[in-house]
Amino acid sequence: METNQLGWGAFVAIGLRKQGLSRYQRGRESDILALPAVFVDVDDLDVATLHRLQAIQPHPSCITFTGGGYHAYWWLDDPLSDMKLARKILRGLQRKAGGDALSVVNSLRLPGSRNSKPQRHNALCHIVEQQNSYYPATAFEHLLPRPTKKLAPQRTRQPIRQHRAGNTLNPALLQAVSGHLLHMGYVGRGDWLSGHCLYPHQHQHDDRHPSFGFNTRTGYGNCFRCGSILLKDICLTLGIQPADYGGLYI
C-alpha cells in the first residue's frame, strides 16, 4: 500500500498461480491453478450499473467501487480448475453486466487502495456490499452460450472448396485486447496503447520504464527490447482465446 500512496495502482490477482513467477509476472493461463471466484469489471460510474450488477442471478458475493466503476465477485464452493469453463463463465458475466472483456489471469483493484489514474482523482476503492454466499460452477450455466445444432452436411456433386480465413483482423478481438490493456493501465494516444511490456522477464530491469505499444488498428505490438509481436502471441500472453470472439480473422 506504500507504493499506492506514491501513485502506483494496487491490484489483487484472483487466480491461484503456480510457484516460481517473478514479482512482475502475472503469468499466462497455463500458470493458473484454479479460480476461487469468478468476477466482472464494469467501467461505468452510473448508479444503474450498480443496480444491474445487483440484479444478476446468482447475486454477487461482493461488489466493490473502483473509482471508475464497479467490480463484482462470486465466491465458488470449490476453486474452478477447468479454465475453458472459467473463460465461458467470465464471458457470460461480461455479456450480462455489460462489462469489460476479462481473462482468468486478470488482476482487479484492491479495496482500500486509491485509483491512481489521473482522471479518477485518487478515488478510494471500497466494498459496496458483501455477503457470505458461495456458489457451485453449475449456478452459472444459464449464462453460458447454448450449443448450436449442427446440420448434417448435404451431399453434392460439386467439389467442396476449403474455406480460408480472410486477411482482416477480427474487430471484436481487437476490442477485447484493447480493453484488457486499458484495464491494465495502458494509456491511449491515437491508434496506440502504451504501457509496460508483456514480457518484463526479457528486460534487464523488468521494463521499469514502459516500452511497449499496441496498435489498436493493425493488431501489432511493438517493444523496444522484444521487437514486433503478433496479435495471436499477445492473446496467448493475456490469456485471451480468439475463438471466444469468433477467431483471429473475419
DSSP E strands: which ranges in the chain?
11-13, 16-17, 32-42, 62-65, 70-80, 107-109, 126-130, 134-135, 187-189, 192-195, 212-215, 221-223, 227-229
Q: For residue 58, is the peptide bond before it cis, meaning its omega torsion is within 30 degrees of 0?
A: yes
| pLDDT tens sequence for the chain (250 residues) | 666 766 678 889 899 988 877 766 666 888 899 999 999 999 999 999 999 999 999 999 999 999 999 999 999 999 999 999 999 999 999 999 999 988 898 889 999 999 988 888 889 999 999 999 999 999 999 999 876 555 555 554 444 333 344 578 999 999 999 999 998 889 998 999 998 888 887 776 665 777 899 999 999 999 888 888 999 999 998 989 988 888 888 8
Fold of 2-143: Alpha-Beta Plaits (3.30.70)
Report the C-alpha gap between 70 and 111 in whole angstroms.
11
- Buried/exposed 199-224: b ≥16 CB within 10 Å, e otherwise: bbeebeeebeeebbbbbbeebebbbe
Closest of 93, 109, 111 to residue 101, by C-alpha: 93
The residue among 127, 216, 230, 143 whose CA lies nearest residue 179 is 216
What integer pLDDT is reported at residue 30 of this predicted model?
Answer: 85
CA angle 223, 116, 203 (to 5 degrees): 25
Only one residue has cell 458475493, namely 61
What pLDDT, on a 0 to 100 scale, did the predictor assign at position 159?
A: 41
Contacts of 150 (CB under 8 A, 6+ apart): none
Which pLDDT score, from 0 to 100, does residue 150 have?
A: 56
Cell reading at 219: 493488431
Q: What is the pLDDT of residue 23?
A: 66
Cβ neighbours for 151, distance < 8 A, ≥ 6 positions apart: none
What is the pLDDT at residue 54? 95
Left (φ > 0), alpha (ψ -120 to 50) or beta: where does 161 sit? beta
The domains of the chain are located at: 2-143, 171-245
Q: In terms of C-beta density within 10 A (0-12 exposed, 13-18 middle, 19 or more buried), how is residue 154 classed?
A: exposed
CA angle 8, 12, 17 (to 5 degrees): 125
